[in-house]
């Protein structure tokens, strides 16, 4: 099997996949990409500029596509959601300000992967910020690892990050949906590697542990440490695909510019 070359992101967060052209897909390439994704949590594939058909076809090689009802889909591609920021928008960026793992407030069948392609990218701003759950877990003191072994997080759609979603719903004239809540272990495993699943934008409390509140604050501060963070700078046509079990992300602040991303949610 030919091996794709990769370059790790800053602080070993995620991996750039070099020299692939997703317009000509084959099983060998998609199997390798999936395995790089399993090992590094997020993959960055530069300047692909796929049309919607090719973009969706690649997503189907990763898993089952999921409709995301709170965002508008493209006319012939309902699984491709448009995230648009206009120069006049003053609100917080959708998904901004708090690191999170998408839809952690859903139970068992929550979608696992999120993919974005940059359609219109402003100069000098609009990075997406990632924090590695693998690296953050590995650097925990042993006594904390021991302590959180069986801890359960309670995640809510009304967590701190919901502010950015409510803005978006208001604009689209959508009534805010009822609050969703789910519980998940805060230590998860992907392909034999342990990762921290604490989604600070949604985490309400930690159960099954003494000092839940103290540990919660400690872990949130921990995953926000500079040493686990990579701020990804977009170019037009870039494709970024992440596993919500093993990386957290947030949008950076963005002002007075237009930006369009196409998003696909994958189970
Ligand atoms: Fe998000």
Average pLDDT for residues 245-260, to the nearest whole number? 93
Task: In whole angstroms, give the CA distance from residue 163 to residue 165.
Answer: 6
Task: In whole angstroms, give the CA distance from residue 85 to residue 74.
Answer: 16
> What's the CA-to-centroid distance between 100 and ligand 1, angstroms?
6
Task: In whole angstroms, give the CA distance from residue 43 to residue 11.
Answer: 14
What are 13-54's pLDDT values in tens digits?
A: 999 999 999 999 899 999 999 999 999 999 999 999 999 999
Task: In whole angstroms, give the CA distance from residue 213 to residue 113.
Answer: 29
- The distance from CA 94 to its chain's CA centroid, rounded to whole angstroms, is 12
Task: In whole angstroms, give the CA distance from residue 149 to residue 196.
Answer: 11
Average confidence score pLDDT of the chain:
93
How sure is the predictor about 176, in pLDDT bands with cuts at 50, 70 and 90? low
DSSP E strand stretches across 86-170: 113-120, 128-132, 152-156
Task: In whole angstroms, give the CA distance from residue 162 to residue 49.
Answer: 31
Q: Which residue has the tokens 């994958």?
A: 266
3-class secondary-structure state, position 71: coil
Task: In whole angstroms, give the CA distance from residue 200 to residue 155.
Answer: 9
> What's the CA-to-centroid distance between 75 and ligand 1, angstroms?
23
pLDDT above 70: residue 1 = no
How sure is the predictor about 120, in pLDDT bands with cuts at 50, 70 and 90? very high
Q: Where are the domains of the chain?
A: 6-266
What are 129-155's pLDDT values in tens digits?
A: 999 999 999 999 999 999 999 999 999
> What's the CA-to-centroid distance between 250 and ligand 1, angstroms?
6
> What's the CA-to-centroid distance between 249 and ligand 1, angstroms?
6
> What's the CA-to-centroid distance between 128 and ligand 1, angstroms?
10
> What's the CA-to-centroid distance between 2 and ligand 1, angstroms?
33
> What's the CA-to-centroid distance between 93 and ligand 1, angstroms?
10
Show the 3-state SS of 197-234. CCCCCCEEEEECCCCHHHHHHHHHHHHCCHHHEEEECC
> What's the CA-to-centroid distance between 3 and ligand 1, angstroms?
30
> What's the CA-to-centroid distance between 143 and ligand 1, angstroms?
31
Q: Say which CATH topology domain 6-266 has.
A: Double-stranded beta-helix (3.60.130)
> What's the CA-to-centroid distance between 1 and ligand 1, angstroms?
34
pLDDT above 70: residue 2 = no
The pLDDT value given to residue 203: 97
């Amino acid at each position: 099997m030919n091996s794709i070359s990769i370059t790790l992101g800053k602080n070993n967060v995620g991996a750039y996949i070099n020299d692939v052209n997703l317009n000509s897909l084959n099983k060998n390439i998609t199997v390798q990409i999936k395995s790089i994704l399993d090992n590094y949590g997020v993959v960055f594939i530069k300047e692909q500029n796929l049309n919607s058909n090719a973009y969706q076809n690649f997503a189907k090689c990763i898993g089952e596509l999921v409709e995301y009802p709170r965002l508008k889909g493209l006319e012939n591609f309902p699984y491709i959601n448009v995230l648009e920021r206009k120069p006049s928008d003053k609100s917080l960026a959708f998904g901004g300000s708090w690191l999170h793992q998408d839809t952690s407030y859903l139970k068992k069948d929550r979608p696992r992967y999120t993919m974005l392609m940059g359609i219109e990218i402003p100069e000098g701003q609009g990075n997406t910020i990632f924090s590695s759950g693998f690296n953050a877990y590995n650097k925990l003191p042993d006594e904390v690892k021991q302590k959180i072994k069986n801890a359960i997080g309670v995640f809510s759609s009304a967590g701190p990050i919901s502010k950015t979603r409510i803005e978006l719903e208001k604009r689209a004239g959508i009534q805010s949906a009822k609050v969703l809540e789910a519980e998940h272990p805060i230590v998860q495993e992907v392909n034999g590697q342990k990762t921290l699943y604490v989604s600070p934008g949604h985490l309400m409390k930690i159960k099954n542990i003494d000092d839940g509140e103290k540990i919660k604050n400690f872990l949130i501060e921990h995953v926000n440490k500079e040493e686990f963070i990579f701020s990804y700078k977009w170019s037009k046509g870039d494709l970024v695909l992440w596993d919500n079990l093993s990386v957290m992300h947030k949008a950076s602040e963005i002002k007075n510019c237009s930006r369009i991303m196409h998003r696909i949610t994958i189970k």
